[in-house]
Structures are given as structure tokens and as C-alpha cells.
């Protein structure tokens, strides 16, 4: 697989035209600031009364309505939550695009599942940094960057790939390295990773471990430390150097326990359930269910989320985290 760097990019394909960033959340803010610092003429498109209007204006951006920004720009980057794309696109963006304009996403969900259907004369591209917005901004500011995925769904102008790779370069992605993918591959692997490993799988494993220990009579505080708190230490090692670095920095006793007990917990049955999750993503079941849940006002979502936030491990965690001043300082800095 080829990794694309600054030498492969043509930033002028983006920098020579006005860019509209729709949304000013975590990714929107980072993309907008990085593009601006890279010499782009950036405007921000927000709904009337948006809570982020003042922040965007304080950063020196011109803020317009989504419709006005879409009409003024040659490249429109939709960086709002997935479920907002359809309404925003149909009512405010699509009517204001011209032939040869580019529509950019940071995730392929709404295009892959046809919630958004751009006209045939519009370039449809994706640039997906593999990190949260604050990291995308911090790495850019220190002259580095966060690796990106980029893709072309529709090439109407013959320059869509140049625009995608150029945009990736302008936000710092080609300093670290950009990899070309497809909307389908990015979306399906992203959803699977979130559901089976990063969010769904990891949190269920943590809670199951906590419950196993507390039900066996161990103190909730000890169970919290062992099953949740120390997870960060392991994840950091994996992030920095994979399985090899983790094994270099944990004890032989821990390694032995890893090798003999890991496969007892994550086994063929677990992998079968993972394949079920992937199948639901690939055949569109997950997307249809999520869209239907949103259209119904998210009653099941809200009930499940409330139950998740009220688990005993959360009460234990609140007490223990209050004893960790470095976490309190981190929250103040983030604010």
C-alpha cells in the first residue's frame, strides 16, 4: 500500500479557491484553522443561532449561513454529525453547488448509505484524519501531522483526487502520511472498529471484568483500578509500539497470563459475534436501524445511554477520579 506524502500532493488545487467548512466542532475547528494557516481562504457555514458562531468569529473567520457559505465556495467540507447531513445537504448545500465544485466528508457513512446524493457534476471526496480534532490541530502547530485516509467517490472534474490529497496536505495529513481508500472501506472498517473493539467491545469488556470481581466479593475500588484505570497504561503501550512494546514493559507474569487467558476470553465464539457485527454493517442493517432510530426521536438510544451511564462502575469511577488531581487539571485546560 502506497503512503502519500507532501511530495505527492497538489495543495494549489484547494488553496486557489475558497473553502467552506460546515460545522465548527472538534474536526471543523481543526480543519478550518489548519487550512487558514496553510494559506487557504476559509469561511465557516453554521446554522442560525449556533453555539460555535462566537468561537469561529473570535478565531478570525467569516461566518455565514450554510447556504451562503456553500454558494461562495468551490470546496464544501461537511463536518457536522452524520445524522445531520441529509437535511443540511438537501435544503442548504445542494441548491448552491455548481458544476465542478467539490463536496468533502471526513467519514463516508452518508454517501455510502445514500443519505446524501450529490449531482453527477460534483466531485465527492473524503479526507479522514485518524485522530480527534484537537490532536489534528496540535500536531499541525508543531509542524507534524496526523495520518489521514483519503478517497474519491465521484470524479466529475477530473481533479477530485488532487483535491482530496491537496486538502489532506493542507491540514497536515501528508506530513505524517496519507493512505488512499474507498468510501466503503473507510466506513465499514470505522464502524466495525467502533462497535466491536474501540467503544462497544472495550467498554463491555471493562464492565464485565468489573462486575466479575465485585460479584466475587472484591472491593469496587480495586476492581475499578484493575479493569478500567490501568487500561490506559496498556493502550498507551499498544499505541506507541504495538504488541511488542506492551510485552517489553509488562511483567513476565502478566505476559504469561495474557498468553494463556486472553484466548479464553476472546475466543472463536467472540469472533463469530464480531463477524455478525461486520455483516450487519456490510449489508446496511446497522445503518438502516440507526437512521430509523434517529427519525423516531432516538427513544431506544436515549434509554440505553442512560442505563450505560448509570452503571455501578460509573459511581465508583467518579469517586476515584476525584482523587486524581491531574485529571481535574486536564479538564480545566480543555475548557
Residues labelled as active-site residues: 107
Q: Is 293 annotated as a binding residue?
A: no
Q: Is 158 annotated as a binding residue?
A: no
Measured CA to CA, the distance from residue 228 to residue 77 in angstroms comes to 37
Q: Is 133 annotated as a binding residue?
A: yes
Q: Is 15 annotated as a binding residue?
A: no
Q: Is 248 annotated as a binding residue?
A: no
Phi–psi pair at 44, nearest 5 degrees? -115, 130
Please provide the distance, in angstroms rounded to a whole number, between the alpha carbons at the two ends of the chain: 40
- Give the three cell numbers for residue 239: 499505541
Q: Is 194 annotated as a binding residue?
A: yes
Q: Is 82 annotated as a binding residue?
A: no
Q: Is 50 annotated as a binding residue?
A: yes
In contact, 124 and 152? CB cutoff 8 Å: yes
Q: Is 190 annotated as a binding residue?
A: yes
Which residues of the chain form beta strands (DSSP E)?
A: 3-4, 19-22, 42-45, 62-64, 75-78, 102-105, 123-129, 148-154, 178-180
Q: Is 8 annotated as a binding residue?
A: no
Measured CA to CA, the distance from residue 167 to residue 10 in angstroms comes to 9
Dihedral of CA atoms 311, 194, 251, 318 in degrees, nearest 10, equals -30
Measured CA to CA, the distance from residue 39 to residue 58 in angstroms comes to 18
- Coil, helix or strand at residue 178: strand
Measured CA to CA, the distance from residue 261 to residue 256 in angstroms comes to 8
Phi–psi pair at 99, nearest 5 degrees? -55, 135
Q: Is 225 annotated as a binding residue?
A: no
In contact, 69 and 22? CB cutoff 8 Å: yes
Q: Is 226 annotated as a binding residue?
A: yes
Q: Is 51 annotated as a binding residue?
A: no
Binding positions: 24-27, 47, 50, 52, 133, 190, 194, 226, 230, 251
Binding positions for Mg(2+): 190, 194, 226, 230
Binding positions for NADP(+): 24-27, 47, 50, 52, 133
Amino acid at each position: 500500500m502506497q503512503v502519500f506524502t507532501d511530495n505527492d500532493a497538489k495543495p494549489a488545487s484547494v488553496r486557489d479557491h475558497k473553502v467552506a467548512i460546515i460545522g465548527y466542532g472538534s474536526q471543523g475547528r481543526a480543519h478550518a484553522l489548519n487550512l487558514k494557516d496553510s494559506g487557504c481562504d476559509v469561511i465557516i457555514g453554521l446554522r442560525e443561532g449556533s453555539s460555535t458562531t462566537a468561537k469561529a468569529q473570535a478565531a478570525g473567520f467569516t461566518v455565514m449561513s450554510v447556504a451562503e457559505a456553500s454558494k461562495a465556495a468551490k470546496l464544501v467540507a461537511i463536518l457536522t454529525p452524520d445524522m445531520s447531513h441529509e437535511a443540511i445537504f438537501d435544503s442548504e448545500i445542494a441548491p448552491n453547488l455548481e458544476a465542478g465544485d467539490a463536496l468533502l466528508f471526513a467519514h463516508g457513512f452518508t454517501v455510502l448509505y445514500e443519505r446524501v446524493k450529490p449531482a453527477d457534476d460534483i466531485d465527492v471526496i473524503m479526507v479522514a484524519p485518524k485522530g480527534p480534532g484537537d490532536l489534528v490541530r496540535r500536531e499541525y502547530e508543531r509542524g507534524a501531522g496526523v495520518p489521514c485516509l483519503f478517497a474519491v467517490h465521484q470524479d466529475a472534474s477530473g481533479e477530485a483526487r488532487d483535491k482530496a490529497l491537496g486538502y489532506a496536505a493542507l491540514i497536515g495529513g501528508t506530513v505524517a502520511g496519507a493512505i488512499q481508500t474507498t468510501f466503503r472501506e473507510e466506513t465499514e472498517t470505522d464502524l466495525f472498529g467502533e462497535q466491536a473493539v474501540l467503544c462497544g467491545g472495550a467498554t463491555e469488556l471493562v464492565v464485565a471484568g468489573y462486575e466479575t470481581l465485585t460479584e466475587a466479593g472484591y472491593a469496587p475500588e480495586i476492581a475499578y483500578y484493575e479493569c478500567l484505570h490501568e487500561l490506559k497504561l496498556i493502550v498507551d503501550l499498544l499505541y506507541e509500539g504495538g504488541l511488542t512494546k506492551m510485552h517489553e514493559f509488562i511483567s513476565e507474569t502478566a505476559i504469561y497470563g495474557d498468553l494463556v487467558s486472553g484466548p479464553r476470553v476472546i475466543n472463536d465464539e467472540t469472533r463469530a459475534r464480531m463477524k455478525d457485527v461486520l455483516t450487519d454493517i456490510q449489508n446496511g442493517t446497522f445503518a438502516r436501524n440507526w437512521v430509523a432510530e434517529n427519525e423516531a426521536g432516538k427513544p431506544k438510544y436515549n434509554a440505553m445511554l442512560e442505563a450505560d451511564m448509570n452503571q455501578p462502575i460509573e459511581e465508583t469511577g467518579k469517586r476515584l477520579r476525584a482523587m486524581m488531581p491531574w485529571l481535574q487539571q486536564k479538564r480545566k485546560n480543555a475548557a
